[in-house]
A and B are shown apart, each in its own frame.
Chain A
Amino acid sequence: MATLTSRLSPITRRRLAAFKANRRAWVSLWLFTALFVLSLFAELIANDKPIVIQYDGQWYVPLLVDYPETEFDGFLPTRTDYLDPFIQQQIKDHGWALWPAIPYSYQTLDMNMTRPSPAPPDSRHWLGTDDQGRDVLARVIYGFRLSVAFALVLTVGSLVIGVVVGGVQGYFGGKVDLIGQRVTEIWSGLPVLFLLIILASFVQPGFWWLLGIMLLFSWLGLVDIVRAEFLRARNLEYVRAAKAMGLPSRLIMWRHVLPNAMVATLTFIPFLFTGAIGTLTALDFLGFGLPPGAPSLGELAAQGKNNLHAPWLGITAFMTLAIMLSLLVFIGEGLRDAFDPRHVQQRQASPAQETHHA
């Protein structure tokens, strides 16, 4: 770790220190990372299959392999339903099973409910069930993972496209810039929401379809920032020196211009990220998003709206989104301040100011 820090340039080290000094952002980063890493192992936390089973001295891993019911002395050669009381009794008699903390997956219908759905929170379903009898907590865990993964892929994709388009426009300038700017202006005039709605009428929009459509438009916000940075940097003397040295344009852009343009771009990323999560949730809420059955926070919010007598649905959806987006905004704020040279100076100045007044 120490060697890693010493390899960073002093500017980066100062920024890292400024980011760490911002307690709220630092704690938010750790919390968010912890939540995301946890949700990556959602299958081990919330699932309708046991993780391992020992049955008649033999080992079974239902998480990875589908076993027919006959393996557990059932009647049918179909996939085992481990929540079936008969199967549970069989496993109990012949061995044992290690269950995840929440014995429901995001689309498991609880057949043994004693109360009508949506059911309020109790010891069986910690956050209650939705109107189809699915466990809300399980859906939140899977939904969180899906939202973050979607935002992550969308952000990386937008970053690549935005930086390339903005960089080429800014670096070459002139006609390339003029034509590029007009094309992006026309492109950004296209109505994204209508496109999605039209699309939803002839294909079943899945994760990748939505991602593709949104990727077509989400990079537009980055182009202006990157282009401005490249326009500024291309006349700097060290860029001209690299040109005089005979380096080809792509190397100059990659080694000399991009590192300087990345500061403005990096501060933009967390906000791109929250925007992506917000859009996905909004589409799901309206019913144009992920296919029915997919664990989506927007769909949970829509259920909350449709079932006002079941407030745990709406409250859960709201709290999940509020916590997730707040953490991201705090991280973004910390990043922005860490990259702001004026802010760093103020931080350094403040202790001296105190002594001056004293």
Chain B
Amino acid sequence: MPNPLLRIENLTVAFDDVSVVHSLSLTLNAGETLAIVGESGSGKSVSALGMVNLLPSNAIVQGERWLGDTDLSTLTQALWNGVRGNRIGFIFQEPMTSLNPLHRIGKQIGEALRLHQGLRGQAARQRSKALLEQVQLPRPEELLDAWPHQLSGGQRQRVMIAMAIANNPALLIADEPTTALDVTVQQEILTLLRELRDNHGMGMLFISHDLNLVRRHADRICVMYQGRIQEIGPVEQVFQHPQSDYTKALLAAEPEGRPQPIEPSLPLLSAHQLSVSFKRPKTGLFKRQPPAFVAVHPTDFHIAPGETLGIVGESGSGKTTLASAVMRLVSSQGEVTLGDDRLSNLTGNDLRRQRHRLQMVFQDPYGALSPRMPVFDIVSEGLRFHYPQLSHEEVTQRVNQTLYEVGLPESCAARYPHEFSGGQRQRIAVARAIILEPELLVLDEPTSALDRTVQKQLVTLLRDLQARRQLSYLFISHDLAVIRAMAHRIMVLKDGKVVEQGPCLDVLSAPQHAYTQALIAAAHLTL
């Protein structure tokens, strides 16, 4: 057996006194992809960063670490600088912030070349151009002089990859490289990574929470839970015959089931020719005003009582803008009717009084709750404003009842949001919305920041609430598995236009539009 490229034995990482990774051991061979899979907080990123001494100074890393013949645990800071970026390449999760916004692309790639290979001037530029060609970016000559903000997320991630492979590293560590990207772009990036690995004979450590991706792109897989390795082995073996209970739970965590069928009835909400456009700034003092940017083209749709309309599309397709227009949080054209009331005609106080009838749950469970208010105040705020006649006892009773309904204990009313996990926070956000007894709930990517197992619980909760309260949902997601479990009908958006709509299963099983077909192909749904 050849000497492994990377050998980790009994790696332990602790922050202050709290140990977060317990005796992790693994090996990685050249030309192989090892995936570390786990939910958020399982210690997968921390172990990867700990291996290469990239953790903050209050972290204590112990254990043997070998890269080829180099003992990583005894390297000095100066020697590390020669290893990182040279023999080990890195790709991080967030392409939007990993590039310095004040330097041109060519300069940022050139920096890695200059530091480790001493390349300068034209030589560095030629090599940078070759690298951009390797990562299959179009027009590499122009891109060298582009600023990061001129590139899309997928293009930036390609630039990051170009920087990571600039010095032909032996080991490539990819920490959730595609999580921030759209599904169709994810596939391209992962295919590219695989080609590069094969061409250069690199070893790849691939960190992800997405089992679907891992299955198709890794050779071996290592499942982590609460800082411990649950299982390690070849991909097919782990997927076919999972050994640990946790792996089994993770594999079964795909949202499943279907919403309850509904009786045909008059629509609760209907939108007629609803559109949103934003003014574009003038480019010069005497230039003419450029035509407005149309975020959502005129759209008709309706939602019946107890029905879920799913809205699907990639980032930038106008999903959230459409939801904000329905909520009257952005100014829009066209008509929105809720029950018998024309919402689009109301303003000021009249609109505010109607707001309790339609509520919204936001994407980011960390940003949607005011950090300075205890849960009781957060949940009861709307109630106290819309029904000032309620006594304190009645409000308390309603809050406790609602918290119970979303599956949270009464005792959490006095606590602050930061004491809760992402899933619990999203339940608090749902409680805040349903305590006003709305008729329509707009859910903007409510599950996308959550782990799979937690997603499944939230989907079940939302379906139960719908059945119990005859709620209508406008459910926005880019995740087709969640949409399938939630929606009666779906509407596919691309560049602000509806390209396809119809009953959920019909669209998913027999998509008509080419874009829908590409989306479904990329999602690898197990139908």
CB-based contact B353/A246 at 8 Å: yes
| Stretch among A58-66, A84-92, A132-140, A237-245 lining the B interface | A237-245
Complex-state Cα separation, A348 to B356, whole angstroms: 44
Which positions 23-58 of chain B face chain A at CB distance < 8 Å? 56-58
Instruction: Tell whether A33 is near chain B: CB-to-CB under 8 Å.
Output: no
| Stretch among A178-186, A198-206, A255-263 lining the B interface | A255-263
A254 to chain B, nearest CB (A): 12
Instruction: Tell whether A356 is near chain B: CB-to-CB under 8 Å.
Output: yes
Q: CB within 8 A of A247: which of B57, B351, B362, B381?
A: B381
Count residues of chain A with CB under 8 A from any CB of chain B.
27
Shortest Cβ distance from B361 into A: residue: A241
Complex-state Cα separation, A251 to B381, whole angstroms: 10
Q: CB within 8 A of B56: which of A243, A247, A248, A349?
A: A349
A356 and B367 in contact, given A243-B329, A244-B327, A259-B372 (Cβ under 8 angstroms): no
- Chain B residues within an 8 Å CB radius of A355: 60
Q: What does the 1/0 interface line of A213-257 toward B look like (CB < 8 Å)?
A: 000000000000000000000001110111111111001000110
CB-based contact B57/A241 at 8 Å: no
Instruction: Tell whether A293 is near chain B: CB-to-CB under 8 Å.
Output: no
Shortest Cβ distance from A258 into B: residue: B372
A244 and B360 in contact, given A349-B58, A356-B57, A356-B60 (Cβ under 8 angstroms): yes
CB-based contact A353/B57 at 8 Å: yes
Q: CB within 8 A of A242: which of B16, B57, B356, B381?
A: B381
Which positions 357-406 of chain B face chain A at CB distance < 8 Å? 359-360, 362-364, 367-373, 381-382, 385-386
Q: CB within 8 A of A237: which of B15, B56, B368, B372?
A: B368
Complex-state Cα separation, A11 to B327, whole angstroms: 33
Instruction: Tell whether A10 is near chain B: CB-to-CB under 8 Å.
Output: yes
Shortest Cβ distance from B435 into A: residue: A245
Instruction: Tell whether B474 is near chain A: CB-to-CB under 8 Å.
Output: no
A247 and B382 in contact, given A240-B329, A241-B362, A349-B56 (Cβ under 8 angstroms): yes
Which of A236, A241, A248 has the most chain B CB atoms inside 10 A of its CB? A241
Shortest Cβ distance from B372 into A: residue: A259
- Chain A residues within an 8 Å CB radius of B362: 237, 240-241
Q: CB within 8 A of A246: which of B15, B16, B352?
A: B352
B15 to chain A, nearest CB (A): 8
Complex-state Cα separation, A246 to B327, whole angstroms: 10
CB-based contact A237/B364 at 8 Å: yes
B413 to chain A, nearest CB (A): 15
Shortest Cβ distance from B362 into A: residue: A237
- Chain A residues within an 8 Å CB radius of B370: 238, 242, 255-256, 259
A246 and B381 in contact, given A238-B369, A240-B329, A259-B372 (Cβ under 8 angstroms): no
Instruction: Tell whether A114 is near chain B: CB-to-CB under 8 Å.
Output: no
CB-based contact B355/A349 at 8 Å: no
B387 to chain A, nearest CB (A): 12
Instruction: Tell whether A352 is near chain B: CB-to-CB under 8 Å.
Output: yes
Instruction: Tell whether A9 is near chain B: CB-to-CB under 8 Å.
Output: yes
Complex-state Cα separation, A259 to B416, whole angstroms: 15
A352 and B352 in contact, given A236-B367, A245-B382 (Cβ under 8 angstroms): no
A63 to chain B, nearest CB (A): 46
Complex-state Cα separation, A352 to B418, whole angstroms: 24
Instruction: Tell whether B429 is near chain A: CB-to-CB under 8 Å.
Output: yes
CB-based contact B372/A9 at 8 Å: yes
CB-based contact A241/B58 at 8 Å: no
Complex-state Cα separation, A11 to B372, whole angstroms: 9
A232 to chain B, nearest CB (A): 12
Complex-state Cα separation, A244 to B418, whole angstroms: 22
Which positions 48-93 of chain A face chain B at CB distance < 8 Å? none
A226 to chain B, nearest CB (A): 17
Instruction: Tell whether B436 is near chain A: CB-to-CB under 8 Å.
Output: yes
Shortest Cβ distance from A259 into B: residue: B372
A9 and B360 in contact, given A243-B329, A247-B382 (Cβ under 8 angstroms): no
A294 to chain B, nearest CB (A): 43
A154 to chain B, nearest CB (A): 28
A246 and B368 in contact, given A10-B416, A241-B429 (Cβ under 8 angstroms): no
CB-based contact B385/A352 at 8 Å: no
- Chain A residues within an 8 Å CB radius of B355: 244-246
Count residues of chain B with CB under 8 A from any CB of chain A.
35
A241 and B360 in contact, given A9-B416, A246-B352, A352-B16 (Cβ under 8 angstroms): yes
CB-based contact A237/B418 at 8 Å: no
Which of A9, A238, A348 has the most chain B CB atoms inside 10 A of its CB? A238
Instruction: Tell whether B432 is near chain A: CB-to-CB under 8 Å.
Output: yes
A238 and B382 in contact, given A9-B416, A10-B416 (Cβ under 8 angstroms): no
- Chain B residues within an 8 Å CB radius of A256: 370
Shortest Cβ distance from A235 into B: residue: B367
A248 to chain B, nearest CB (A): 7
Complex-state Cα separation, A243 to B355, whole angstroms: 9
Complex-state Cα separation, A246 to B328, whole angstroms: 11
Which positions 331-358 of chain A face chain B at CB distance < 8 Å? 348-349, 351-353, 355-356
Complex-state Cα separation, A240 to B419, whole angstroms: 22
Q: What does the 1/0 interface line of B1-29 toward A look like (CB < 8 Å)?
A: 00000000000000110000000000000
B30 to chain A, nearest CB (A): 33
Which positions 327-362 of chain B face chain A at CB distance < 8 Å? 327, 329, 351-356, 359-360, 362
- Chain A residues within an 8 Å CB radius of B373: 255
- Chain A residues within an 8 Å CB radius of B429: 241
B100 to chain A, nearest CB (A): 20
Which of A246, A248, A259, A349 has the most chain B CB atoms inside 10 A of its CB? A246
Q: CB within 8 A of A353: which of B58, B367, B432?
A: B58
- Chain A residues within an 8 Å CB radius of B15: 352
- Chain B residues within an 8 Å CB radius of A349: 56-58
Q: What does the 1/0 interface line of A1-17 toward B look like (CB < 8 Å)?
A: 00000000111000000
Complex-state Cα separation, A353 to B56, whole angstroms: 10
Complex-state Cα separation, A9 to B416, whole angstroms: 8
- Chain A residues within an 8 Å CB radius of B356: 245-246
Complex-state Cα separation, A259 to B374, whole angstroms: 13
- Chain A residues within an 8 Å CB radius of B56: 349
- Chain B residues within an 8 Å CB radius of A351: 16
Complex-state Cα separation, A150 to B369, whole angstroms: 40
A238 and B368 in contact, given A245-B381, A248-B352 (Cβ under 8 angstroms): yes
B196 to chain A, nearest CB (A): 36
Q: What does the 1/0 interface line of A267-283 toward B look like (CB < 8 Å)?
A: 00000000000000000
Complex-state Cα separation, A140 to B56, whole angstroms: 51
CB-based contact A246/B58 at 8 Å: no
CB-based contact A241/B368 at 8 Å: yes
- Chain B residues within an 8 Å CB radius of A237: 362-364, 367-368
Shortest Cβ distance from B436 into A: residue: A245
- Chain B residues within an 8 Å CB radius of A356: 57-58, 60
CB-based contact B329/A244 at 8 Å: yes
Complex-state Cα separation, A248 to B351, whole angstroms: 11
Complex-state Cα separation, A238 to B432, whole angstroms: 11
Which positions 99-122 of chain A face chain B at CB distance < 8 Å? none
Shortest Cβ distance from A245 into B: residue: B382
A240-B360, A246-B353 are known contacts; what are 12 more A-B pairs with Cβ within 8 Å? Answer: A236-B367, A237-B367, A237-B368, A238-B370, A240-B362, A241-B368, A242-B381, A244-B360, A245-B432, A247-B385, A355-B60, A356-B60
5 residue pairs of the A-B complex, CB under 8 angstroms, read A9-B416, A245-B356, A246-B382, A247-B382, A349-B57
Lowest 3 A-B CB distances belong to which pairs? A246-B355, A245-B382, A349-B58
